[in-house]
Structure 1
Amino acid sequence: MFTWKDLVREPISKLDDEAFTRVRLIVGHAVEQAAVRFQHAAVRFGAEHRLLLADIRRVEHHQATLLRWLQPADQSPLESSIAVAQAAVEVGAQMARCEPDPYAAQALRLGLLEDFDHLYRLAALMDRLEGRDANAILQSYTDIRPGRPTSAQHRAPEDDLRRWYDRYATAPATKLHARIAGAIAYHARDHYLDVGPTFADPVARQLYAELASVKEQHVTQCESLLDPAETWLERWLLQEAAEVYLYWGCLSSETNPRVLAVWDRFLAYELEHLRIVRELYEKTEMRDASEIVPLSFTEPLEFTGERAFIREVLAAEVELGAAGTEFVPRDAESRATQSYRAQLERDGSPSETVAAGYRWSPGTELADPRIRDASVLPAESDRIMNRARRPTDLALNRTGIYLSPTDGPAVVEGRATPRARPAARALAEVRRQYAGEVGLIGHMPAPASLRVVENPGGEVLRRHKVHLLLDKLGERLAFERTGVRLFDALMAKLEAQGSWDRGPTLEELAQFRADEAHHFALLQDVLINLGADPTAVTPSADLAGVELAGIVQVMTDPRTTLPQALHAHLVAELVDSASWEQLVSLADDFGEAALAHKLREPLAQELRHRDTVTTWLKRHAALVVGGTLKYSA
């Protein structure tokens, strides 16, 4: 039914595809994973059907794989998290709006406002950690503003349990909504648990731990809505029906032709699964399956923005909480919840820390001159951490094979005999094949009113040349914006660890940060004057984010030293200075003398940054070699 190449096909474009294409893929993957989990558990109750369960489960697993692998590689973990939160918000909002049972609808709205706040906190983290705008993922479908504060979402376990629906009296839509919402919550929980440890920044790690905890509460809430008297075959029937219902909605609204074909194919699979389970249910339980699942649904999930509904719920219910199985004002929450929350937040709240004073602005908060140009020099502090140990000190390191006298030779002797065909050639062939078949990472956004750019002779530049210039301007803008955040990280590290003789000072780093902020503002103005949107992510800007991801990791890791962070920063400075040289040269080639002149000042400053960081690192190495290295405030 599948081949490996069929499973691993051309991914969607982060830049070109509609945000709801990504949302549909996330929700589809989540529901397939829920099906696989259920069918594994079902073996314990229906051992006589284990072959049928295994057959269908294998198909469900491969469907989940194909959907997950359609996500693009240039989508960072944090961007993926924002997409997961958007899926929870938008799909949760539509189900809450259409839910016929008032109590179940209230439960869905409770989760909606909490997911909405998670999105806001993740957007603040992306802005302040990486200098990137979450709206590039959201595509203006979903607001970035506070919901029910994440710090107020932590409840005692007994306050996350809900009254279950009556399996005989409840509408099928309620049963399907509860399952889809539970699958999304479970997927988000696992996502936050998987992604959180990949961050070096301690605030990011704490935030993900906090979000995963709340999503565990949401899983509890959704599962508790299900009638425990449902038989396992009844639940299997409803699970397959939920998949049919979901894929019908995906097929009805998809805009990407390649992904549309996937939904069409998967809907056919799920209709067959539903038929098989329906027959099994009627044969085993001697009941008409239409009592559980209707022969047809009235309307599919629409996968459209729910901004108006979300704002309405936000205005009316943001102060709502829960006590036991009831929904109550926050000031009426149980003592158990208040005690649980106080314990968790005894050392502070990561969700409050990451978004303190945060207000989203197009192009990140650095687009606001009041924030971009504000003083970032820290208060006087005596918390200088002169570490007793340094990375160059000798200690236990278990990575070398020749340092393991017993196991090392055994591993070498046990190596598989190499095949005649070099593995590298086989890898290259697969990469070459995919490179010849897939499309681009993305395309340039169409400017609203691109102004004519002319060379000195008056000849209008060809459109693709203008787009090349705009692409490179967008790349530098993205790089400079992240550069501001890199200097924020350097200053925090210097404040904690101190510097050395003729090493960096806070004042120098603050000045370099101000230079980066000025470059960002200048590039914004240049793009606006050319009629382009400075908040749009161009293909080169997207790749700049991927390139910088490792540098951000090094510089925000609390375990790295200031010299190690400066070394990572030097990589950024080398790329930055070379790219500014290219940009100036490009402007000259286009005959844009005024633009080239304007870009030469940032180039000179970037060259000074590069040379200064190089000098600091050379001085540090000389002091280490001379045995005279000392750190001071």
Structure 2
Amino acid sequence: MGFNPLEHQGIPLERQVRDWRELDVDPVDPDRGDPYTRCRIITMNGIEVEAILFNHQFARHCPDAEVKRQLAQVRYVEAQQQKAVNWLLPGLASVLETTIAYEQVAVDLTGWVARHEPDPYLRQAYEFGVLEDFDHLYRYANLYEMIEHRKAESIVDGLTEVMPGRPTKFHHRDPYDNVRDPYDRGTTDPLSKLHALTIMSAEQQTMNFYMNVGPQYMEPIARRLYQEIGLIEEEHVTHYESLVDPGETWWEQLVNHEYNECYLYHSFMEQEPDPKVRAIWELHLNMELEHLRIACDLMRRHDGREPREILAPELPNVLTFEENKQFVRHLLDTQMDLTTLGAGYVRDAHERFQRMQERIHGGQEPPSEQVMAQHREMFGREYRMETEGPHPDIASREK
């Protein structure tokens, strides 16, 4: 039998508040740690940030003072969890190093989800996004070598390739075409709900990160590249959040958020090689089990429904950080020329796409192309890290 979080007791809420000593976690070693440990940390930070922001939005729309107090109690613990998780990242890492790790998360987390998504329409949404994050990783890797004179392979450790994806300059689309059709909350696989919430949360934290760190650079090319990719991350959040059925009630969304946290903490606890970090995943899982119980009670009381009606009977197979090289290469070979039209995808540039390209680029090369030109000028080449087999000359496909 698999793990069913509805059948396990967690730590009582009144025992979950930690003191400063407990929150003062030791960061992971940036040079000797598993790169996927860092990816799990970044992912769970995004999940916790989404839980906090959702809880705040729920409270702002909730007229029941007692419910708002319960939300506040859980939210405070979620905020402590977020601090403990995010503070696992090493302070020695530069913003660009963390950025490259963020994009490694985007590639390998979304890649895994796309490979395991049961719904073809949702799977296509993740496949489409992977190729764009893959190219962002490539652009930032070139910027990293230019500014810090180091190579991205020291961060991704050969687990994720660094080479061109769908060119970033083609990611700027009319906002009208960034909205997808949502899943049907009544018929969709519960796993699809977890996937949508996970990827939306991960992209949201990337968007927030770039919005805040971009202007901290002095180098003009860095400031421009963060500005460009930050705008694309806004498009990605729109792309992914629109997959969630807007008909889900606040109570249903609350339960889905808590169930998803149980799913991810359980998944990462199962695969984490760092015992110190694994202990945090286990502790937070036991906290989330209680948060889920509280959310389920609120749903029964205020929504008049049984949470088991909307949740999986047990957690699906653990979400795993692993190499997606062959999968991404297949997408490079088959989906490079896709863009969006309405809620679907097309291979031919259409009027709205062309108009947006002309408007945003203004007849000039965007920062994502400028960084490549400057890198070639400095080093006489582009930075790439390919780990297996020949790769087609993607640059020749850029039109």
Which TM-score applies when normalising by structure 1? 0.56
Rounded to whole Å, the distance in 2 between the matches of 1:272 and 1:312 is: 42
Question: Which residue of the partner structure matches residue 360 of structure 1?
Answer: 383
Which 4+ stretches in 1 moved above 4 angstroms? none
Deviation at 1:361?
Answer: 5.1
Say whether 1:102 aligns with 2:120: yes
Say whether 1:43 aligns with 2:66: no
Say whether 1:350 aligns with 2:364: no
Question: Which residue of the partner structure matches residue 492 of structure 1?
Answer: none
Q: Which runs of structure 2 are paired with 1:269-288 in the superposition (5 Å)?
A: 269-288=287-306
Aligned equivalent of 2:24, options 2, 5, 8: 8
CA offsets, 1:301-353, max 9 Å, x none?
A: 01112112111112111111101101111x233x2222122111114210011
Rounded to whole Å, the distance in 2 between the matches of 1:234 and 1:342 is: 42
Contact 2:173–2:353 (Cα < 8 Å) also in 1: yes
Q: Which runs of structure 2 are paired with 1:102-501 in the superposition (5 Å)?
A: 102-329=120-347, 331-333=348-350, 335-346=351-362, 347-356=364-373, 358-360=381-383
Question: Which residue of the partner structure matches residue 37 of structure 2?
Answer: 21
Amino acid at match of 2:24: V
Amino acid at match of 2:40: R
Amino acid at match of 2:195: H
CA offsets, 1:224-256, max 9 Å, x none?
A: 111111111111111111111111111011010
In the alignment, structure 1 segments of 5+ residues that lack a partner are 364-633
Q: Give the SS at the match of 1:355.
A: helix
Amino acid at match of 2:106: A
CA offsets, 1:401-436, max 9 Å, x none?
A: xxxxxxxxxxxxxxxxxxxxxxxxxxxxxxxxxxxx
Rounded to whole Å, the distance in 2 between the matches of 1:136 and 1:354 is: 20
Q: Give the SS at the match of 2:18.
A: coil
Rounded to whole Å, the distance in 2 between the matches of 1:113 and 1:218 is: 12
Q: Give the SS at the match of 1:221.
A: helix
Alpha-carbon distance change, 361 to 312 in structure 1, aligned in 2, over 3 angstroms: closer
Rounded to whole Å, the distance in 1 between the matches of 2:306 and 2:102 is: 37
CA offsets, 1:265-293, max 9 Å, x none?
A: 01111111111111221222222211211
Q: Which runs of structure 2 are paired with 1:554-573 in the superposition (5 Å)?
A: none
Q: Which runs of structure 2 are paired with 1:32-111 in the superposition (5 Å)?
A: 32-48=48-64, 49-111=67-129
Alpha-carbon distance change, 327 to 362 in structure 1, aligned in 2, over 3 angstroms: closer
Amino acid at match of 2:203: A
Q: Give the SS at the match of 2:60.
A: coil
Rounded to whole Å, the distance in 1 between the matches of 2:291 and 2:29 is: 31
Q: Which runs of structure 2 are paired with 1:490-569 in the superposition (5 Å)?
A: none
Question: Which residue of the partner structure matches residue 548 of structure 1?
Answer: none
Amino acid at match of 1:82: I
Contact 2:162–2:384 (Cα < 8 Å) also in 1: no
Alpha-carbon distance change, 126 to 141 in structure 1, aligned in 2, over 3 angstroms: same
CA offsets, 1:521-579, max 9 Å, x none?
A: xxxxxxxxxxxxxxxxxxxxxxxxxxxxxxxxxxxxxxxxxxxxxxxxxxxxxxxxxxx
Contact 1:126–1:132 (Cα < 8 Å) also in 2: yes
Contact 2:41–2:85 (Cα < 8 Å) also in 1: yes
Deviation at 1:75?
Answer: 0.4
Deviation at 1:45?
Answer: 2.8
Rounded to whole Å, the distance in 2 between the matches of 1:89 and 1:147 is: 11
Q: Give the SS at the match of 1:327.
A: strand
Amino acid at match of 1:317: Q
Question: Which residue of the partner structure matches residue 614 of structure 1?
Answer: none
Rounded to whole Å, the distance in 1 between the matches of 2:103 and 2:34 is: 16
Contact 1:249–1:303 (Cα < 8 Å) also in 2: no
Rounded to whole Å, the distance in 2 between the matches of 1:362 and 1:314 is: 15
Deviation at 1:8?
Answer: 2.2
Rounded to whole Å, the distance in 1 between the matches of 2:293 and 2:361 is: 50
Deviation at 1:223?
Answer: 1.1
Rounded to whole Å, the distance in 1 between the matches of 2:63 and 2:38 is: 37
Rounded to whole Å, the distance in 2 between the matches of 1:361 and 1:107 is: 26
Rounded to whole Å, the distance in 2 between the matches of 1:31 and 1:237 is: 14
Q: Give the SS at the match of 1:280.
A: helix
Amino acid at match of 2:97: E
Rounded to whole Å, the distance in 1 between the matches of 2:18 and 2:167 is: 44
**Cα RMSD for the two superposed structures:** 1.4
Rounded to whole Å, the distance in 2 between the matches of 1:292 and 1:217 is: 29
Deviation at 1:362?
Answer: 6.4
Question: Which residue of the partner structure matches residue 395 of structure 2?
Answer: none
Which TM-score applies when normalising by structure 2? 0.88
Q: What percent of counterpart residues are identical? A: 37
Amino acid at match of 1:101: D
Deviation at 1:71?
Answer: 0.7
Contact 1:133–1:362 (Cα < 8 Å) also in 2: no
Contact 1:145–1:359 (Cα < 8 Å) also in 2: no
Rounded to whole Å, the distance in 2 between the matches of 1:57 and 1:189 is: 22
Amino acid at match of 1:76: S
Rounded to whole Å, the distance in 2 between the matches of 1:147 and 1:361 is: 12
Higher relative contact order (CA 8 A, sep 6+): 2
Question: Which residue of the partner structure matches residue 13 of structure 2?
Answer: none
Rounded to whole Å, the distance in 1 between the matches of 2:265 and 2:143 is: 33
Deviation at 1:55?
Answer: 0.5
Alpha-carbon distance change, 223 to 362 in structure 1, aligned in 2, over 3 angstroms: closer
Rounded to whole Å, the distance in 2 between the matches of 1:44 and 1:161 is: 25
CA offsets, 1:471-525, max 9 Å, x none?
A: xxxxxxxxxxxxxxxxxxxxxxxxxxxxxxxxxxxxxxxxxxxxxxxxxxxxxxx
Q: Give the SS at the match of 1:300.
A: coil
Contact 1:45–1:232 (Cα < 8 Å) also in 2: no
Contact 2:163–2:384 (Cα < 8 Å) also in 1: no
CA offsets, 1:374-395, max 9 Å, x none?
A: xxxxxxxxxxxxxxxxxxxxxx
